[in-house]
Amino acid sequence: MLDIAPKFQALLVFIEHRFYGESKPHNLAKTMGYLNSQQALADYAILIRSLKQNLSSESSPVVVFGGSYGGMLAAWFRLKYPHITIGALASSAPILQFDKIVPSSSFYDVVSQDFKDASLNCFEVIKKSWRELEVFSTMKDGLQELSKKFRTCKDLHAVYLASRWLETAYTDTAMVNYPTPANFMAPLPAYPVEEVRHVSEYKVVYFLYWLIHNETSSYNRCARSSTGFPLEASNLDRAFAAASLYYNYSCSENCFDIENQTDPHGLNGWYWQACTEMVMPISCSNQSMFQPFEYDEKVDQEDCLKEYGVKPRPHWITTEFGGHRIEMVLKRFGINIIFSNGMQDPWSREGVLKNISSSIIALVTKKGAHHTDLRAATKDDPEWLKEQRRQEVAEIEKWISEYYSDLRQEEQANVLHTNHHCCCTSDSDSAFSSSATMARRSGDCMRCLVIFAVVSALVVCGPALYWKFNKGFVGSTRTNSLCPPCVCDCPPPLSLLQIAPGLANLSITDCGSDDPELKQEMEKQFVDLLTEELKLQEAVADEHSRHMNVTLAEAKRVASQYQKEAEKCNAATEICESARERAEALLIKERKITSLWEKRARQSGWEGE
C-alpha cells in the first residue's frame, strides 16, 4: 500500500480495530460485548465519511485493503457499505472457514504439505517426534528432563506446553514463509521452511545439537556453525532444533519461557471474538504431521463459558455476511473485490480461490504465504510476486477509472435534467440556482446564464408587461381622449448596459419602469447572477489548471522513466561495444599467433593444406 499510494495520489489511512492496540475502553471487562466485526465495520464507515467531509473530498473514491482477519473485514466492508468504498483487496482472507463450508482440517493440511514439499524427511521427523514427546509424561522426573532438553527458563508443569510450543513454531513458520527476510511474527530468513528442512538432512545450520546438552554454550557463539547431529540424536532433538529456528533465529535467547508465554501480537481480543462470533472449526487429520484431533463443539462451548461466560454462535457469521454458495450469491450482486491467496499459506484453502465474475477475481500464487502481496516491495522480490502486485494495481486502476466515468455521466445527466427543469419552471429562484449549477458543470457559463436570465426575467416581469400592454391597448382605443398617449421610452440603467450590453436590445429592459421595487430587485438579481458567473468561470479555470498540472506531472514521470530506460540501453550498448572491441583485439592477437606458428611450421617442412 505504501508503494502504490503515490501512484494514485492517495491518502493512506490505517484504522485501528476497536479493542485492539490502544483503542480500548477504560472498563474493558464490562464492555467486551461491543467487540465484534459488525461494530468494527460501522466504526470504519463513520470514520471514512467524517474524514472525507473534513477534507472536503466527498466525491473521492475509497479502496479498502486488508490481510488475514483484516482481509475478511475488507471483503465484508465492500459488501455491507458499497456506497462508501468502490472496491476491496482481501488478502489471505479465510471467509469460508465457518459453518462447515470447507474441511476443518484445511489449516493443518497446508502446514504439513509445506514441510513435506520442503523435505519428506523433515515431515517424517516432526511426525514421529510427538510420540517421543509423550514418553516424558510417563517417565520419572520426565518433566525435569524435558525442561532441560528444551532449555526452558523454568521447569515445565505439563508436557502439552512443550507440544503447543512446537506446534506454534511450525504453523507460524509456514504462515510467514516469505521469499525475503522478514520480522512479522519473528525475525526470520527468506523461506524459513526451507531452512527448517536442514533438520531432516542431519544438519542444523543455525542451531547445534550440542547446544541442547551444553549448559554453558552461547547462541551467539554457535550461530553460524554447520556441525551435524550425532548419530544418537532423536527425532525430538531435531524437532526442537527446527522450532528454535523460529523462536531464536537471532541467537539472542539463552532459555525459552515456554510456560509463561506473553501476547506480543495482541491476540487477547481475538480469543473473545473466537468465543462469540468468529467460530472457525479446526481439526487435524491423520495425514498431517501433527497429532490428530477432531473439533469438539461441546468442549469449545465449555471453554468459552469458563473463560468469558459466553457461548459461541457458530452460525452467526454466515447469517450476517454469507458464505454458503458464495459463487452464486456474489455473482448476482457483488462487484470489485480481489481475493488474493498464496497456496503455502495455511489459511489459503479457507479463502476464495476461483474467479466469481469479471469484477470479483481470485489471484492465486503457488509460493505465496500469509498476505505476502501486502508486504513492502523489495529489490529481492521474486517475479511471481511482482506480477501479482501488477495485476492488483491494474484492477484498482480499472475501478477508479470506471468510478470517474460514472461520475461524469451522472453530472451530464444532471445537466440535462437541470436544463429541462429551468426552461419549464415558473419560479425565478429555481431558474437562477439551476442555471448556476449548469454553468458550473458544463463550462459553457455565459450562454447558459444569459438564456436562463432571460427566462427568469420573463417570469418576473410578466405581471408588469401585462399591465403595460393592457394600458397601451386601452389607450389605443381611446384615440379621441383628451389625454395624450403616455410615452414610455426610458433607457435601461447604465450599470446594466455596462454589465450585459446584449440585454439592451430586449424589449423587456424597461418592463419594471412602472414598479420601482421590481426594477431594483431585477437589477440586484442580474448583478448577483453575473457575479456568480465570474466565480464559476474562475473555478473552471482553476480546475483546468489543476488537471494540466497533474497531466504535466504524469508526463514528467513517464519521460523520466523512458529516460532511465534509455540510459540502461545506452549502458548496455556501451558494454556490447566494449566487448566487441575486446573481441576484435583478441582476434587480431590470435591471428598474429596463428601466423607465427604457421610460419614456424613451414620452416619445419609443413606445406600446408
Mean pLDDT of all residues in 207-219? 40
Q: What is the DSSP letter of 65?
A: E
pLDDT of residue 199: 54
Identity of the amino acid at 608 = G
> Over 60: is that where the pLDDT of 16 sits?
yes
**b/e for 514-535, b at 16 or more Cβ within 10 A?**
ebeebbeebbebbeebbebbee
pLDDT of residue 601: 81
pLDDT of residue 265: 67
Q: How far is CA 201 from the centre of its chain?
A: 40
Query: Is-contact 416 437, C-beta < 8 A?
Result: no
CA distance 341 to 67: 10
CA distance 90 to 371: 9
Identity of the amino acid at 58 = E
Which carries the bigger pLDDT value, residue 215 or residue 261? 261
| Percentage of the chain lying above the pLDDT 70 cut | 75
User: Cell 459488501 maps to which residue?
Assistant: 79
Of these residues, 370, 373, 435, 442, which one is catalytic? Answer: 370
Q: How many other C-beta atoms lie within 10 A of the C-beta of residue 107?
A: 26
CA dihedral of 483, 489, 494, 496, whole degrees rounded to 10:
110
The closest alpha carbon to 174, from 366, 369, 351, 374, belongs to 369
Assess whether 370 carries a catalytic annotation: yes
Q: Which range has highest mean pLDDT (229-238, 417-426, 489-498)?
A: 229-238
Cβ within 8 Å of residue 519, ≥6 positions away: 512, 513
Mean pLDDT, rounded, of the chain = 79
Angle at 320 between CA 317 and CA 321, to 5 degrees: 80
Confidence class for position 430, pLDDT limits 50, 70, 90: very low
pLDDT of residue 446: 30
The closest alpha carbon to 66, from 371, 384, 387, 386, belongs to 371
What does the pLDDT look like over 494-528, one tens digit per residue? 444 444 444 444 444 444 555 676 667 667 766 77
> Over 90: is that where the pLDDT of 349 sits?
yes
Element (H, E) at 248: none
Which carries the bigger pLDDT value, residue 520 or residue 11? 11
Orientation of helix 120-135 relative to helix 106-118, angle to 10° = 120
pLDDT of residue 437: 35
pLDDT of residue 457: 33
Of these residues, 172, 237, 345, 510, which one is catalytic? Answer: 345
pLDDT of residue 509: 43
CA distance 558 to 564: 10
CA distance 176 to 191: 8
CA distance 235 to 48: 53
> Over 50: is that where the pLDDT of 113 sits?
yes
CA distance 277 to 41: 14
Confidence class for position 481, pLDDT limits 50, 70, 90: very low
CA distance 335 to 519: 57
What's the 3-state SS for 329-383? Answer: HHHHHCCCEEEEEECCCCCHHHCCCCCCCCCEEEEEECCCCCCHHHCCCCCCCCH
* The C-alpha cell that represents 245 in the structure block: 529456528
pLDDT of residue 580: 86
* Among 115-124, 236-245, 413-422, 469-478, the least confident range: 469-478
What does the pLDDT look like over 362-402, one tens digit per residue? 999 999 999 999 999 999 999 999 999 999 999 999 999 99
CA atoms within 13 A on the CB side of 35: 26
The closest alpha carbon to 229, from 198, 204, 193, belongs to 204
Whole-prediction pTM = 0.67
Identity of the amino acid at 240 = F
The closest alpha carbon to 333, from 360, 355, 351, belongs to 360
Q: What length does the chain have?
A: 609
Left, alpha or beta for 608 (phi > 0: left; psi -120 to 50: alpha)? left
pLDDT of residue 253: 85
Mean pLDDT of all residues in 560-583? 84
CA distance 257 to 112: 26
Identity of the amino acid at 458 = L
DSSP three-state, residue 287 = coil
Confidence class for position 477, pLDDT limits 50, 70, 90: very low
> Over 90: is that where the pLDDT of 479 sits?
no
Mean pLDDT of all residues in 285-310? 94
* The C-alpha cell that represents 372 in the structure block: 505476502
CA distance 309 to 427: 65
Query: Is-contact 88 63, C-beta < 8 A?
Result: yes
What does the pLDDT look like over 36-90, one tens digit per residue? 999 999 999 999 999 999 998 999 999 999 999 999 999 999 999 999 999 999 9
DSSP three-state, residue 64 = strand
Confidence class for position 232, pLDDT limits 50, 70, 90: low
Secondary structure of the chain: what % helix, strand, coil (to 5)?
60, 5, 35
Distances (CA, A) of 276 to 93, 96, 304, 306, 307: 19, 17, 8, 13, 12
* Among 157-166, 258-267, 456-465, 523-532, the least confident range: 456-465
pLDDT of residue 99: 94
Q: How far is CA 567 from the centre of its chain?
A: 34
CA distance 535 to 501: 20
Confidence class for position 597, pLDDT limits 50, 70, 90: confident
> Over 70: is that where the pLDDT of 333 sits?
yes
Mean pLDDT of all residues in 409-415? 84
> Over 80: is that where the pLDDT of 303 sits?
yes
Of these residues, 37, 68, 91, 92, which one is catalytic? Answer: 68
pLDDT of residue 97: 96
362: exposed, middle or buried (Cβ count in 10 Å: 0-12, 13-18, 19+): middle
pLDDT of residue 205: 38
Q: How far is CA 242 from the centre of its chain?
A: 34
